[in-house]
Structures are given as structure tokens and as C-alpha cells.
Amino acid sequence: MQGLVGMSKNLATRLAPFGITVNDVAPAMVESGMMNENSAPEEGNPEPLSKRLGIPVGRLGTAQEVANAVEMFCKSGYITGQSLLVAGGLGHQ
């Protein structure tokens, strides 16, 4: 992931004079048709996936929440060179 962040920051600096912004969105666990709160329960541990992973907001993210983050970057021509972790607080400790 560090390579992507570095590339985005480099491109953001180089392309800003041309009115082009570059940002990246890094989603963590997102609920989908292949994964949901009850995915692959560990034997003897029926807790929801978000609880087993220790996601602070207590649930998986949604595709719409990731799309909202991307849309925010698309709507602003002033934000550039930023990396946004969409992870419900996971990894923010």
C-alpha cells in the first residue's frame, strides 16, 4: 500500500499545475455478496466478523460508504495528494 500512496502523492504534485488532482481511497473490510457479518465463523466463536476483527464502529463498511469517499474527492478540485483510509476506525489506534 505504501507504493500506491507514494505514487499518488508524486502524481498529485506533478499534475496539480494542470488542474488534475490525484488522491487514493483505501477501503478495509466491506460487506459484499462474498462477505458479510456472518462470514466464516470460527469454530466455537459465533461472534460477528466485525467484532472478531476489532473494528471500532462495530460493523463492516458498505460499498456506498466507499463510493461516498470517492465522490468527495471527485467533487473537490482543491483536495490533492491525500490518502483516505475507509476502515471504521480499524488501524487508527
Write out pLDDT tens, residues 71-80. Answer: 999 999 999 9
Q: What percent of the chain has pLDDT over 90?
A: 55
Assign residue 74 the CATH number of its domain.
Answer: 3.40.50.720
Residue 72 within any structural domain of the chain: yes
Q: Quickly count helices (H) and strands (E) in the chain.
A: 3, 2
Judge whether 92 lies within some domain.
Answer: no
Give the chain's domain count: 1
Residue-wise pLDDT for 1-10, tens only, equals 689 999 999 9
Tell me whether residue 32 is in a domain: yes
- Residue 17, in any domain of the structure: yes
53 has a pLDDT exceeding 70? yes
Nearest to 22 by CA among 85, 64, 65, 76: 76
Residue 23 maps to a domain: yes
What is the average per-residue pLDDT within 42-58? 75
Residue 91 lies in a domain: no
What is the average pLDDT across 42-56? 73
Instruction: Find the domain containing 20 and state its range.
Output: 2-86
Most confident of 12-16, 54-58, 89-93: 12-16
